Amino acid sequence: MRAPGAVAVLTAAALGLAGCSSGSSSAKSPSSGPASSSAASSPATTGSSAPPTSGNQLQDAYQKVIAEVLPSVVQIVSGDSLGSGIVYDDKGDIVTNAHVVGTATTFAVTLANSTKSLDAGLVGSYPDSDLAVIRLSSPPSGLKPAVFGDSGKVQLGQITLAMGSPLGLSSSVTQGIVSATGRTVSEPMGGGSPGATIGNMVQTSAAINPGNSGGALVNLDSQVIGINTLAATEPQANGAAAPGIGFAIPASTITNITNQLIKQGKVTNSGRAALGITARTSFDQQFQPAGAVIVSVTASGPAAAAGLQPGDVITKIGDTPVDSLNALTTALASLTPGAKVTVTYTRDGNSQTADVTLGTLETTS
């Protein structure tokens, strides 16, 4: 049972609300109208000679960013699923979430300030990081690729704008701040979500609603710092949305995965840490989760080099308790290849430790 105030992170594809991927494309998009925004306007000034206020300066900054970045944000329709995407280059490549793409290979894309949809096809998808790339079949001239920022410079309190197509309302904008960085978040599997566990996510208070999946989280330098991916729900409120808690995949992960998908059609370097094992949840005599039992060990992999064996039950990674396979996956998602960690495990009923230098998660895409 979760403690009071704990959140369950869900996609809208699973709930129909409080996430950022819409399960229906029936909403009409007012794409020919002005962009909508939740950013509050400053009070009107009286008299044309009044000096600009700080509120006006912030409003001007919002409007400048929206004018510069919104043309790079598109709406994506795949069957009955609707989401958002970001123009990555002038060749027509668009990056989005893997759960927006799902199993589809063809898509209808609507550019900002347009009512005409364009055909697109799948370039590649990497569900482990919930990212995918699609490509316009006939890219129009004047495509405006987005500029991606430095994930290492994202700081708490920075103002953020979330851009996308919530509920099919294309070219919509909400505002908030960076609430936290370095979050490791597990998506629920099903309803179009691949169930990925993603590390180093950016938490934001900017509203993220169904249809925002794949859209841009932007700073006031007009740089994309993340892809809007998840919103949180409150399990003790029957799955109602937890206001102001959204998560975005960081720019560094986006560019790493996207560049590989464009160049190779697949991912060969995930950038994700791994032990080099296959495992499953271990249960104790009371049938309660009690760790992650190793099923097999990759020859010459990190675990093998540290002496871990099939049958060992991992109970801790560093200082992080591990009581299930999901807990192990979450712990590893927050680490990087090459990091050295102490793995606590039980063998024949005895608790032991091993120092492991983590490797890179193998890819199957």
* Residues annotated as catalytic (active site), given as ranges: 99, 130, 213
For the record, the structure tokens of 284 come out as 């104790």
Q: At 195, list the tokens.
A: 């169930």
Which of 1, 79, 9, 5 shows the shortest CA–CA distance to 231?
9
**What is the token pair recorded at 157?**
């309190």
Question: Where do we find the tokens 């700081």?
Answer: 155
- Residue position matching structure tokens 């959204």: 246
| CA–CA distance, 124 with 130 (Å, rounded to integer) | 11
**What is the enclosing helix (H) or strand (E) of 351?**
strand 350-357
Q: Are 139 and 90 in contact (CB under 8 A)?
A: yes
Distance CA 316, CA 343 (A): 6
Output the CA–CA distances (angstroms, integers) from residue 188 to 12, 191, 240, 287, 326, in the order listed: 11, 9, 16, 23, 11
Cβ atoms of residues 217 and 248 within 8 Å: yes
Instruction: Report the distance separating Cα 87 and Cα 85, nearest Å.
Output: 7
Helices H / strands E in the chain, number of each: 6, 24
In the chain, the amino acid numbered 5 is G
Could you tell me the two tokens for 107? 């898509």
Calculate the dihedral angle through the C-alpha atoms of 305, 333, 218, 90, rounding to the nearest 10 degrees. Answer: 50
Residue 21's SS3 state is coil
CA distance 168 to 67: 20
Q: Is the dihedral of CA 175, 181, 182, 184 positive or negative?
A: negative
As a whole number of angstroms, the distance between CA 140 and CA 145 comes to 12
Q: Within a 10 A sphere around the Cβ of 51, how many other Cβ atoms? A: 6
